[in-house]
Amino acid sequence: MDQEAETTNSRDRVLAVLDLFSESRPLWTPDELMRELGYSRPTLYRYLKSLKESGLLMSARGGRFTLGPRVVEMDYLSRRADPLVAAAASPLAALTAAQPCTALVVRWYGDKMLCVASQSSAPNPVSSYPRGRPMPMGRGAIARSIMAFLPRQRLVPLITRYSDDLRAVGVGATPEEIIAVLKRIRRAGVAVAFGEVTPGAIGIAAPILDANDPVASLCVTIAGQHANGELIDRISNEVRNAARLVSIAAFGSAK
């Protein structure tokens, strides 16, 4: 193995350590990491030392490790540099001023969706996903607003991976039925979901596009007991227009 390939391999192995930390498993002992990753003890301890010195990991009670302060610093830098956060500030404020709701912008990466900015005017916000908490790709208006704008070759693997979730919420029983629903969402420019992610919440979402590529979604969630067809239609228009404004401000283009 040449030196460049070896360096890349080592970097990937270090990143694999970080990938194990999650909401359901935020703490790991070295022995648990070794069993999960299959690394030798000297190799793992070398990686842990490097990650700890960089601030990406820190020691916790019981000889365990968790994510470190460098992660918080990186989040601060991301907030300052992310064009979506800056572009979304005014539209989110306008949406939350128009009615009691939570308005959020969610980025899509890999098979995860992550809230990067949000504002709320609801007395008891109904969104379950604050900034930084991953969202499921198979449920909810946000996921479908993104999937509806993907080309078929990128869409089909997601449908296959999340077919059980999509069927469970009534999107369709077969891939072709699911695709037909997503085509209707694309024509409408907005997706609506009732209680699929957060019980009692209605989500209304439209894609944020970089050229024709969906990179994020703008969503408003409202309490279901306060909603009717007229209100949902009005918010749908507001969300669609706001997503277009964010697309233009962040990337200089929108469909």
Q: What is the pLDDT along the chain (255 residues), one digit of tens a residue?
A: 555 555 668 889 999 999 999 989 999 999 999 999 999 999 999 999 999 999 999 999 999 999 999 999 999 998 899 999 999 999 999 999 999 999 999 999 888 899 999 999 988 775 667 788 888 788 999 999 999 999 999 999 999 999 999 999 989 999 999 999 999 999 999 999 998 888 888 999 999 999 889 999 999 999 887 778 899 999 999 999 999 999 999 998 655
CB 238 within 8 A of CB 96: no
CATH of the domain at 52: 1.10.10.10
Write down which residue in 53, 72, 91 finishes a domain: 72
The answer to whether residues 26 and 86 belong to one domain is no
CATH of the domain at 230: 3.30.450.40
pLDDT score for 225: 74
Domain membership flag for residue 77: no
The answer to whether residues 166 and 67 belong to one domain is no
The answer to whether residues 98 and 153 belong to one domain is yes
CB 95 within 8 A of CB 101: yes
Domain carrying residue 23: 3-72
**Tokens 């002992």 -> residue:** 29
- Its pTM stands at 0.83
pLDDT score for 110: 80
pLDDT digits (tens, 9 = 90+) for 29-62: 999 999 999 999 999 999 999 999 999 999 999 9
- Kindly report the number of other CB atoms within 10 A of residue 126's CB atom: 21
pLDDT score for 200: 85
pLDDT score for 10: 83
The answer to whether residues 110 and 68 belong to one domain is no
Structure tokens at 136: 């499921």
The answer to whether residues 55 and 90 belong to one domain is no
| Count of structural domains within the chain | 2
Task: Give the span between the Cα atoms of 48 and 137, in whole angstroms.
Answer: 31
Task: Give the span between the Cα atoms of 59 and 67, in whole angstroms.
Answer: 9
